[in-house]
Amino acid sequence: MKLAVYGKGGSGKTTLSASLLQFLSYFCNFHVLGIDGDHNLHLASELGATETDMQRGEQGTALDIGNDLDWLRAYFAGNNPRITPDLPMIKTTPPGEGSRVLKLSEPAEWRQRYATVIDGVELIRVGDFTSDDYRKKCYHSKTGAIEIFLKHVWEDSNEAIIVDMSAGKDVFASPLPTLFDGNIYVVKPTRKSVNNAVDFLSHAKNFGVSMLVVATDISNCQEVAAIESQLERPVDGIIPHDPFFMQRDSLLLSRPPHVREASFAVLDALYNLTDLLRQLPLHDWDKILTRMLYHHEETAASWAGNKFNEQIHPGFNPFKQVKFKVSV
């Protein structure tokens, strides 16, 4: 499954992303990949990474995909003849014949270039602004790397990709939310967090994306009822207020505790949430491909230029070249 986690800054979205990654890896024996899609870059430290963890021998620090777009595009374009200097890959370009469409678990050059392993969890990052970006680029210029990556790297059974998204509503300026099997919005029992949730969920409904709502930092059932009343819908998951989460953010500890050290209440909440996520529908490859083509045609018509429709290979299904346990 592919999951995206959204929320207001300070809502606990990064903490939930890290907790789910560790829970699926340690307790469910999943192969998991976390993608830090937030320019604040907190997911690595939330997973317990040290500066040493972020170093990888002679190659040094793993590169960030949002700051390495030329290599990323060329790598996944492979030998696709429909991607040319005149028609370069853009973030909505669908895989075609000759493109690299890969299983998450298989050895690949992208892993050597971008991935860091932190206590069993693989991590890649979009990255921060560089001095070359100042006054010239918005963060969308980097998050397009997530779209490119997710179109070409696919998870099989017992595998998961979880993206810790940037806070705010900018995500609705791209088709990115449609690439996920599950979209999770994290909300705390505070006025600002709930107000943001109401606004975000309204946009998601208009966008045509279903959202799961997870309430975090919950101390009693009255807080859950208040959130549900404001949202006019039930929450799908509840994460309790617990000292474990305070310890994860404590300056007094050299690294945050792993989820295996969490209380029974936290583990029970994460078990219930992952059980819900396991019920998400399996990949509908025809639907995924149809969406990709529609969004690329939409992009070509709106700003890229109609000539980019030539990148679509009629009748070609890029997923049939990969042997998934989940049938294509």
Using one digit for the tens of pLDDT, what is the confidence trace for 187-214?
999 999 999 999 999 999 999 999 999 9
Residue 79, in any domain of the structure:
yes
Residue 227, in any domain of the structure:
yes
Residue 103, in any domain of the structure:
yes
Residue 156, in any domain of the structure:
yes
| Burial degree of 68 (CB within 10 A; 0-12, 13-18, 19+) | middle
Location of structure tokens 């996944």: 76
Task: Give the integer Cα–Cα distance in Å for 95 and 311.
Answer: 9
Q: Dihedral sign, CA of 55, 61, 66, 71?
A: negative
Tally of structural domains, the chain? 1
CB 105 within 8 A of CB 31: yes
pLDDT tens column, 116-150? 999 999 999 998 887 787 887 777 788 999 999 99
CB 75 within 8 A of CB 306: no
For residue 122, give the nearest of 56, 40, 212 by alpha carbon.
56
Write the CB contacts of 70 (distance below 8 Å, at least 6 apart in sequence).
Answer: none
In single-letter form, the type of residue at position 217 comes to: D
CATH of the domain at 187: 3.40.50.300
Residue 322, in any domain of the structure:
no
In single-letter form, the type of residue at position 213 comes to: V
Give this prediction's pTM. Answer: 0.94
Degrees to nearest 5, angle at CA 249 with 252 and 180: 155
Task: Give the integer Cα–Cα distance in Å for 61 and 204.
Answer: 36
C-alpha of 207 from chain center: 18
Residue 137's pLDDT is 76
Lowest mean pLDDT, pick from 18-27, 36-45, 229-238: 36-45
For residue 251, the enclosing domain spans: 2-316
Residue 167, in any domain of the structure:
yes
Residue 206, in any domain of the structure:
yes
Residue 64, in any domain of the structure:
yes
Per cent of the chain over pLDDT 70 is 95
